Structure 1
Amino acid sequence: MKFLYSFLIFILFQITFAQEQAVFYFDNNKFELNKTEAAKLQKWISENTTSKILSITGSTDEVGTSGYNDTLSQKRVSHIFNQIKGKVNIRPDFKSISLGEKGATSKNKAENRKAIIHYLLEKDLDKENEVLGIKEQDKEVVIPDDAPLAEKVKLAKVGTKITLKNINYFQNTFATTPESQGALYDLLFVMQSNPDLKIEVQGHICCVDVDRRNLSLDRARQVKRFLVYNGIQEHRVKTKGFGVSQPLHPIPEATPEQAAENRRVEIEILSKK
């Protein structure tokens, strides 16, 4: 978490000699580039195949509600990301930063409807950690997505979030489906094998604007109930529901796969040895 905070502060408030920026502007209420800006992006891609992207920041003007602008901003970031994915190098801990109307720094509304690619040129890649202010002990550990849960927890630092795969619920309920048992018992085994491990189970839902029933929290609590029922001390497991406030993909989701990724359960490592 310390690294993430430092990284965001750097991206949002500092400019160094080694970090580059490319700015692309959007028409009013649009999240896809017009022909002129799209051609500009393709030109940038062709000229930066050996560069490395650090983050993409999206923003809007101040017209509209904050919620609408936050979603529009994230859609602009996603649009840019989808255009560059597989064509330009991207840091493994790439950050997608949606500022919404909070990124409106100009009196000219058109200048606030933008996405900014923050990147390093090939000649500056050897200064990457220095530019980002990352010390050796602060480096984020890259955890393989296909690693077993026990291995992920072993590699994780305090503050790391890990998605619990294959935990599913019956529609509009907090009751887990039978196929979730394997993932639940994996988590139980990890908790039993690491008696000093404390976690926060975090629930996320998809497909709606607001979690009016607090379903995300109820789903997190259901995971805790399973652990406590099977002997894990209650104080080792906290719960939190984020509703739809931290989607991996813009809402409404474009595909069922995006909805499934937004609808997830994560654990955050609170303490471990």
Structure 2
Amino acid sequence: MKKVTFFLFLFGNICFAQQKIDTVSLYFENDVSALTTAHLQKIDSIQSDTLPIISLKINGYANSFASFEYNQKLSDKRATNIAEAFSDSINVQTIGFGEIDDPSAAYRRADIIVTRQFHTITKKEVVPEPTLENEMKTAVSGEKITLQGMQFYPGVDIIRESSIPVAKKLFFFLTENPSVKIKISGHVCCGRLGIPSSIDGMNNRTRVQNLSEARAAAVYNYLVEKGISKDRMQYEGLAFLFPLGKTDDDDRRVEIEILSK
């Protein structure tokens, strides 16, 4: 069974590019998600920089006042409000991380993570990274594909609203390719001292320690509800058995394996 890794190839003349990553934090008053004049000034300064923005990610947070559900919506709203203040020409990814188990004002914030390109030598031709649709179409039996952008609310098996488009892409692919069968695998972070572990995460919705399996089942059930036959799909939870050696977000993922085409 092989796992597919895609690379960005550069053709033509030899070229070299460097990236610069900056993080700007915006702080909020308690129970507030609206942007202030000071917030807007910081956003304007980010946009006025002459270095081109490659990617922009906004992580929203809330401290532990109020309920879990309320703080989840508050953190999402803080991130979304900031994203809306940027130019439409900038692609922005937002994630609301909900409440941090701490009442400190330091967690009433959103972090703007800006990646810029600041040095390029000579002209180059770039082959774009493949989309999820192309990855699924070109994959052969035994290959695994990470569902990039498939995210869940912290500690539970509920798919984020912002990730439904990813589930829809998988549904459309299966609809257009009725002979394809897949296996859906859920993964969680984090193992003790980074050691791979078969101990699954706790699903705070059900209080059952099967979070990776429950998240894979959530994708499976979404597809079943949309009309995909159960005979074409399997799902499993792999806990923290296959860490990627990168970040917690990379380990906290859902993959599909093409079983047959």
TM-score, normalisation: structure 1: 0.48
Higher strand share: 2
TM-score, normalisation: structure 2: 0.49
Q: Which has the higher contact order (CA 8 A, sep 6+)?
A: 2
Higher helix share: 1
